[in-house]
Structure 1
Amino acid sequence: MPTNLSQCSNLEILNLIDNQLVGKIPDDLGSLPKLQALGLAGNNLTGSIPRSVGNLSQLHMLSVSEKGLQGEIPETLSKFRGLEFVQLAFSQLTGEIPPAIFNISGIFSFSAGDNQLRGSIPPYIGDTLPHLTYLNFGNNLFTGVIPPSLSNASGLEYIYFNNNSFHGRPPANLGRLKALERMLLGFNQLRDDFSFITSLTNCSRLQIIGVDFNFLEGPLPDSIGNLSNSVIVISMSSNPMFETIPPGIGNLFNLSFLGLANNSLSGHVPSSIGALHNLHVLELSANMLTGEIPSSIGNLTLLNHLHLLFNNFYGEIPQSLGNCRQLIELELSNNNLSGSIPEEVLSLSTISIIFSLAHNQLSGSLPSQVGSLANLVELDLSYNKLTGPIPSSISKCLLLERLSLAINSFHGEIPPALGTLRGLRELDLSHNDFSGEIPRFLVQLTDLNYLNLSLNKLEGEVPKQGVFLNASAVSVFENSNLCGGIAELNLPSCKSNTSKPFSTKKVIVITTVAAILSGFILCLCLFIIWYRRKKSKENLSATELPFEHRFSRVSYEELFRSTDGFSENNVIGKGRYGTVYKGTTQEGGWVAVKVLNLGHRGASKSFVSECRTLGAIRHRNLVKISNVCSSVDHCGNDFKALLYEYMANGSLENWIHQGNEEDVRHEHEQGQPGRLGLMQRLDIAIDIASAIKYLHEACSPKIVHGDLKPSNVLLDNEMMGRVGDFGLAKISSAATTEAMDIDNRSSSVAMRGSIGYVPPEYGMGDMVSTQGDVYSYGILLLEMFTGRRPTEEAFKDHLNLHTFVKVALPHRAAEIVDSAIFNGEDERDTERMRNCIASVLTVGVACSMEWPRDRMGVAEVLKELHKIRARYGAK
């Protein structure tokens, strides 16, 4: 940071926020006697706040939030008699806040959260700081009681005292704060009961109440139903709360989050809970609730997370849960539920995090609808009374990482369908009635690090490859007819002369089939060689065959007819490597045909890359490739094309910018695309993040897209986001990063990707990485919500889209967003929208940090976006 500040003695405003400054705050900062506003937050400053700042007697605004700052808050700050705005948060400040600061009566915003400050808050704070509107002391080491005098600061809107060691009772007079919107007192040592709730019913603007992880006890008062309808979050988990949930809770029809977990609540869940039509999260786990799960929960059609585990619920799982078509997490484990698993619930394809019915009394077979859970990561049905075979439809659950069917009565052989679940990390089939041999496909599940097959009726030889090489990861005990395996499993050796005739027959059959297949492959290869010589113009590269053979290729003639001779009227998009046409299928549907411009350098490599990538992966948020064409046109020239699912709603680019970009043109059957609202954009952002998470974490090896931008995101009939154009994709492994364009002669990737979306490190010669995709996604996210392209003329020198947004956060976020977001939205709901927008843009900024190590991981991105959707999705 510059140290020649003494030459600027007449300076009144010094705003250096988010300027990537390093070093210490200079001591001669105090030589600016006329300074009224000082902004140093968002840099990389270290050291302590110099005492010389006490000379800035005219200062009104002080913002020095820096994670590298240490030391104590200098007492000289108390000289700022005109101080109004104090921001010292997110640092490593220690010691106590100088008491004199609490006497500066003009302060309206005081933020010292996320430090290591200690001491107590003066009992007179509400009397000496009567103009307070924002007070944040959260995430520190404060002790003492919360002063009742806070109620005298009548304009107070935000109280953040969470994560400290405050004790005593919550002030009973907070209802006098008519402007109060958010009160976070969680993770403290507060005691007494919940009577303060009655006082809060006078706060007509109240939105958030957080008192979780305290020692508040007693019943939840009936007055909770009299809280303002503006309340959207009630978080009271982990308190010794007891008795029943008041039926009046159903009056809070705007409630989005209800957390009452880990208490001692008993009795039935009131059916009135079904009136909370805007609820996204319902957390009632770890209580003593009993009775049947009320069918009225099926009215909560916006519900994302339902946690009822560790209670005493009995009866059947209500079929009405099938109406909750936005569920992403369902936890009903550790209850006394009985009956069969409703097909309606298994058909909820949105469930992606966890589906757990473990530790109940469920019976019957596992319905084939389990295949609807195509996005699910964890399925736990253990400790029930389920029977029958594992349905083959489970093969559709391609994202499964953890599967537990332990302690049931499943029977039959372990099905080949499990072999398609390449991302499985944990598989527990123990204590069932499975028979037959251990299938060899388990060896090929390379991510598998826990396998329990014990207490079944399996027989034959245990493999010595894959997960079976790790005795600590495999359990096969109490299968009396197993043999072989590694020595650590302590199994008897297998005797070849005791092999069963049936096993011999199986070997003969397999050998015969293998011989037939080998002959067929040989004939096919000879045919290909003959065909290549006859059609020399096609010049099919031998490197293409391993991935092109996944598709049933179509001819040039078919595509010519399908697109009306590649008519200009059927052009729906143009990119760097070719033109996309709208074509018809023999069934009367539509298909998108991407014709490669083979005269463009890299087009052929792009064709290879897309074939390899899209031919090997499947995800609901990825564009699917259905066919390829590698032939010659009517003039004998090489011709290559890719056929994709047709996306009726075109590209995200067109929806954000209304098709203003010259090289992007798309015809919409209903005219120009409409405007995307706030929640539509958030849903699409989640779709894109889900696809990237799949590529980075579920694919083995990992896949780096390499060119994320709005024009490469398409929208299907239901406005679901689909990531496409894998022409620059790369496969990443532990040892190398293999370029999928087959050209590994250059290690530089400086020119790869699209300008504005390419991460800075690529320009310095770094190889592509998953963190590069995260950067591109961050820029894409910022573009989606601001409507500003990263390549705009305004973004030059040191200003870019990232810094443009970062400077505006959090308070001016609504000023920089795309005005179209507010179309059709309720103007009375601006506060919810403003907070939602600020939260999303914060994620975008965290993804697009300059240094890869500072960027948010894609899994955390997806988690944060789901939280934002759950918190602000309700109007």
Structure 2
Amino acid sequence: MIKLFVILSFSALLLLEACGFTDETDRQALLEFKSQVSEGKRFVLSSWNHSFPLCNWKGVRCGHKHGRVTGLDVGGLQLGGVISPSIGNLSFLVSLNLSDNSFGGTIPLEVGNLFRLRHLFVRSNALRGEIPTSLSNCSRLLELYLDFNHLEEGVPWELGSLTKLVTLNFGGNNIKGTLPSSLGNLTSLRNLVFGVNNIEGAFPPAIYNLSSLEFLNIFENGFAGSLKHDFGTLLPNLQEIYMGKNYITGSIPTTLSNISNLRALRMEYNSLTGSIPPSFGKVRNLQHLGLDVNYFGSGYFGDLEFLDALINCTQLQEVDVGDNRLAGELPTSIVNLSANVIYLSLQKNLISGSIPRDIGNLIRLQTLWLAQNLLTGPLPNSLGKLSDLGAIVLYSNRMSGEIPPSIGNLTMLEILYLYNNSFEGMVPFRLGNCRHLLDLRIGYNKLNGAIPKEIMQIPTLVRLSMGGQLPQTLGKCLSMEAIYLQGNSFNGAIPDVSGLMGVQRVDLSNNNLSGSIPRYFANFSLLEYLNLSINNFEGRVPSEGNFLNATKVSISGNKNLCGGIREFQLKPCLVQAPPLDIKHSSHVKKVAIGVSLGIALLLLLSVSLFSLCWFNKRKKNQQTNNTTPSTLDIFHETISYGDLRNATNGFASSNMVGSGSFGTVFKALLPAENKVVAVKVLNLKRHGAMRSFMAECKSLKDIKHRNLVKLLTACSSIDFQGNEFRALIYEFMPNGSLDMWLHPEEMEEIRRPSRTLTLIERLNIAVDVASVLDYLHVHCHEPIAHCDVKPSNILLDDDLTAHVSDFGLARLLLKFDQESFFNQLSSAGVRGTIGYAAPEYGMGGQPSIHGDVYSFGVLLLEMFTGKRPTNELFGGNFTLNNYTKLALPEKVLDIVDKSILHSGLRVGFLVAECLTLIFEVGLRCCEESPVNRLAASEAAKELISIRERFFKTNRR
């Protein structure tokens, strides 16, 4: 028998030679391959010539018996060009590695001729086109790696015939379509990778047939739908699962805990709901659990039981369940998690309680991320034991107490975010021991004292945000790229930071800084943004370099500045007189004294006469309106009554664009500037109108935001009949108010929009409004409550960008005077507008940012249901809120404004999910109790996240 096999093999070789298939065939095939390599890289294959034996060529391996090429490995040689079809003539080839090069073009069909091929590696190139169906001829293939190219089209059905495949890797391409059911035939498969492609559809049923599978990666595709409840039973050998960044819905199959060898489960950025199963505690080998950015949790209590169970996972290294709806008290059991845990993230949830004092037990922890929760209490001293800790991110909680000096023990710390809490006391100087610190943000707390000089001597520090006094050593942080010190109480001059030439962003706004603006800021070549607004700077503004760009530099709210470019709208600087000649000084002094006395007498007489006239006029005005302000000193320039009368054609009704509680709005053309503006004329006979006028002026004079209506100037004058006249002049919004877009049926035909708002346009508007409220509530020099958020106060520009208007009821919260506030307005006062006003306002509650959030929630529900909160459908205890809540989630499409569904939108479960999420944000803003409502910043972030998901869906 053996003799027969030898004879047949020898005969086969003779036959091949007779047909011309010899080692010379291989030599010519490789030389042809070399000729298609880009010329600049051919020198790498210099040994490929007739002077060297074929089997000694670089990367070539030959068989011992027949001397034919069985292996070609040119991986990592940075070769360019294209893959020659001659590669298909290497008929004895068993292994081909072309990975980590720059081959372009397509995969030649001739690769399918390599019927002996077992290992094909063509990863990390620039190949385009489709996966050739001819690969199905390579029936002995065990490994097929085509990942990280630019392959397109779909996965060929024919590949299902490669039944010996152990590894199939098409990750990191542009593959579209769905996965063929024929892949279910690959029952030997242990590694399946389709991550980072554009594959769509439900989770492929074929995968459930691959019971030998150990590694599954479908990360970042368009897979949707829910997973089978018996997932873990069908795929019991899985060790690593990567399903993140898809559209998978439903709950986590509890059978996943049956996969005893599971090491990694990553399902982040999906739409999973329900609870996180405590049964994961049975997966003893679990190392990585990533379930962030989903919708796990009830939003109430009892969502954190799984953390207790994870104590049993002794190999655990990473837990990331951030950006969900998990609620309840942070269990003390987290300190008993595996000592191997290096990453712990529970951020952006509704977790309360405090950080356990024994958190230092997690001795290998490198990242602790608990930001944007409801945590209270102090920072535990035991944090100082975590010598490997590189990032502590705890911003936007309710934590208090002093920052423990033990943090100075964290010599590997790079990021420390404690801002937006209630920490108090002094900043510990021992933070200076953190010599690797890159980014320190501890502003918006109750800290006091000076910034320790030790912190300013940290050589690596590139970002800084905190309170206290500006130290002179700030200029020694030569690596600094950004300085965020806004919203504190810094005073004095800016220290010399002229050496920080690498700085890109500087925000010193909302402080008490004084002195002149340093000229060297003009020469910072990398500067992208400089905000010095709302301080006490004085003197001339530089007029060169960065100060020639008004979009890069902000200096508003510094009343003693002068000069600068015209866009800054500052008064001109006075020219200083030259010094007087000494020999004339005595004579000049005498003249100056005489002139000064004369001027003083004239001024005294003028002031007396003016005061008498003013007193008489004030007395007269008080008889008609006891709230008239004495002066309007907010604006650098005002406009006259006559100018406005001409600009509005005598305040003609044809120019009227709206009316409100305290006045009427007209469209006007200012001929001097050739600019169309909106003029709000106050009805001074209306009680509270004058206070509304002043409230709006004071609210808008120092605040700037792209989504705030811009108050250009004001008119405080007398009309042609001798009556007092007050008007506010705004930039004109050509697309009117949001109200007219939401309820066009109530508008006159001439003012009715020509179409309806799409879902994404409404979502953009909602994000704009939420961003403004966040700015007013948190980022202004003093918190401002708008007190009247509703559709008619949301104006739209050419691009349908929203601008919040009508600050007549706005309150600076730190200067709140309850008695004067409730006296100034009647039914239209703090109660705002019926249907939008927070319930606590009806019970005498003070104006607050929580009231604004409630109004925004109602606005959000109205925008997407198309129903006003005062709709006749609602009455008694049945409100727009109840109407929305009862429909979620199953009947969400029944309550949505039908014009959204008829605007060319591809309606499906993804749209329904998007709408459900939007309504849930609105309902969380409308909670009965103010403390349970979302912050405006949280609402904005959630809406932005929804928008990003919708955009990704809509592109497909």
Q: What secondary structure, in the 3-state scheme, does the structure 2 residue paired with 1:442 have? A: coil
Preserved CA contact (<8 Å) 2:30 2:86: no
Q: Who is 2:420 aligned against?
A: 359
Q: Who is 2:935 aligned against?
A: none
Q: What secondary structure, in the 3-state scheme, does the structure 2 residue paired with 1:23 have? A: coil
Preserved CA contact (<8 Å) 2:476 2:499: no
Trace 1:683-832 onto structure 2 (pairs within 5 A). none
Q: Who is 1:255 aligned against?
A: 316
Q: Who is 2:83 aligned against?
A: 25
Cα separation, 1, equivalents of 2:33 and 2:423: 74
TM-score by length of 1: 0.53
Cα separation, 2, equivalents of 1:117 and 1:45: 18
Q: What secondary structure, in the 3-state scheme, does the structure 2 residue paired with 1:12 have? A: strand
Preserved CA contact (<8 Å) 1:5 1:32: no
Cα separation, 2, equivalents of 1:325 and 1:443: 35
Cα separation, 1, equivalents of 2:425 and 2:576: 40
CA offset at residue 239 of structure 1?
0.6
Cα separation, 2, equivalents of 1:274 and 1:168: 36
Cα separation, 1, equivalents of 2:528 and 2:153: 49
Change (3 A) 1:457 1:153: closer
Trace 1:47-446 onto structure 2 (pairs within 5 A). 47-123=105-181, 125-126=183-184, 128-176=185-233, 177-194=235-252, 196=253, 198-227=254-283, 229-243=284-298, 244-246=303-305, 247-276=308-337, 277-352=339-414, 354-405=415-466, 408=467, 410-411=468-469, 414-439=470-495, 441-446=496-501
Q: What secondary structure, in the 3-state scheme, does the structure 2 residue paired with 1:162 have? A: coil
CA offset at residue 314 of structure 1?
1.1
Q: Who is 2:503 aligned against?
A: 448
Cα separation, 2, equivalents of 1:481 and 1:112: 60
Q: Who is 1:599 aligned against?
A: none
Cα separation, 1, equivalents of 2:188 and 2:170: 17
Q: Which amino acid aligns with 1:154?
A: S
Change (3 A) 1:475 1:137: closer
Cα separation, 1, equivalents of 2:76 and 2:503: 44
Cα separation, 2, equivalents of 1:17 and 1:93: 19
Preserved CA contact (<8 Å) 1:87 1:111: yes
Preserved CA contact (<8 Å) 1:449 1:467: no
Cα separation, 2, equivalents of 1:350 and 1:69: 42
Cα separation, 2, equivalents of 1:479 and 1:108: 67
Cα separation, 1, equivalents of 2:32 and 2:126: 22
TM-score by length of 2: 0.48
Change (3 A) 1:76 1:327: same
Greater share of residues in strand: 1
Q: Who is 2:520 aligned against?
A: 465
Indicate the structure (1 or 2) with the bigger Cα radius of gyration: 2
Change (3 A) 1:255 1:455: same
Preserved CA contact (<8 Å) 2:387 2:409: no
Q: Which amino acid aligns with 1:380?
A: R
Trace 1:527-676 onto structure 2 (pairs within 5 A). none
Cα separation, 2, equivalents of 1:25 and 1:261: 46
CA offset at residue 159 of structure 1?
0.6
Q: Who is 1:508 aligned against?
A: none
Cα separation, 2, equivalents of 1:29 and 1:451: 58
Over residues 314-346 of structure 1, what are the superposed CA-to-partner deviations in whole Å (9 max), with x where a residue is unaligned? Answer: 111222212211111110001111111111124
Q: Who is 1:558 aligned against?
A: none
Q: Which amino acid aligns with 2:194?
A: F
Change (3 A) 1:382 1:132: same
Over residues 86-125 of structure 1, what are the superposed CA-to-partner deviations in whole Å (9 max), with x where a residue is unaligned? Answer: 1111111111121121122111111111111122223453
Preserved CA contact (<8 Å) 1:146 1:171: no
Q: Who is 1:807 aligned against?
A: none
CA offset at residue 469 of structure 1?
7.4
Cα separation, 2, equivalents of 1:474 and 1:140: 41
Cα separation, 1, equivalents of 2:85 and 2:512: 78
Q: Who is 1:44 aligned against?
A: 102
Over residues 468-507 of structure 1, what are the superposed CA-to-partner deviations in whole Å (9 max), with x where a residue is unaligned? Answer: 879974333444363334256571469999xxxxxxxxxx
Q: What secondary structure, in the 3-state scheme, does the structure 2 residue paired with 1:315 have? A: coil
Q: Which amino acid aligns with 1:263?
A: N
Cα separation, 2, equivalents of 1:428 and 1:496: 36
Cα separation, 1, equivalents of 2:575 and 2:203: 76
1:476 is aligned to 2:538:
no
Q: Which amino acid aligns with 1:89?
A: D
Q: Which amino acid aligns with 1:57?
A: F
Q: What secondary structure, in the 3-state scheme, does the structure 2 residue paired with 1:83 have? A: coil
Q: Who is 1:754 aligned against?
A: none
Cα separation, 2, equivalents of 1:394 and 1:18: 45
Cα separation, 2, equivalents of 1:437 and 1:22: 59
How many residues align? The count is 488
Cα separation, 2, equivalents of 1:159 and 1:422: 47
What is the root-mean-square deviation in Å for CA atoms of aligned residues? Answer: 2.9
Change (3 A) 1:272 1:123: farther
Q: Which amino acid aligns with 2:150?
A: Q
Over residues 233-291 of structure 1, what are the superposed CA-to-partner deviations in whole Å (9 max), with x where a residue is unaligned? Answer: 01111111114122212222221111111111111122221122211011111111111
Change (3 A) 1:479 1:69: closer
1:491 is aligned to 2:561:
yes
Q: Who is 2:838 aligned against?
A: none
Over residues 377-416 of structure 1, what are the superposed CA-to-partner deviations in whole Å (9 max), with x where a residue is unaligned? Answer: 11101111111122222233121111112xx5x35xx322
Q: What secondary structure, in the 3-state scheme, does the structure 2 residue paired with 1:118 have? A: coil
Q: What secondary structure, in the 3-state scheme, does the structure 1 residue paired with 2:413 have? A: coil
Q: What secondary structure, in the 3-state scheme, does the structure 2 residue paired with 1:273 have? A: helix
Change (3 A) 1:454 1:252: same
Gaps of 5+ in 2: 1-28, 35-53, 55-61, 548-554, 563-572, 578-956
Q: Which amino acid aligns with 1:310?
A: Q
Preserved CA contact (<8 Å) 1:305 1:329: yes
Cα separation, 1, equivalents of 2:356 and 2:213: 39
Preserved CA contact (<8 Å) 2:136 2:159: yes
CA offset at residue 53 of structure 1?
2.1
1:15 is aligned to 2:82:
no
Preserved CA contact (<8 Å) 1:30 1:56: yes
Change (3 A) 1:232 1:161: same
Q: What secondary structure, in the 3-state scheme, does the structure 1 residue paired with 2:561 have? A: coil
Change (3 A) 1:125 1:171: farther
Cα separation, 1, equivalents of 2:524 and 2:282: 62
Q: Who is 2:693 aligned against?
A: none
CA offset at residue 3 of structure 1?
4.7
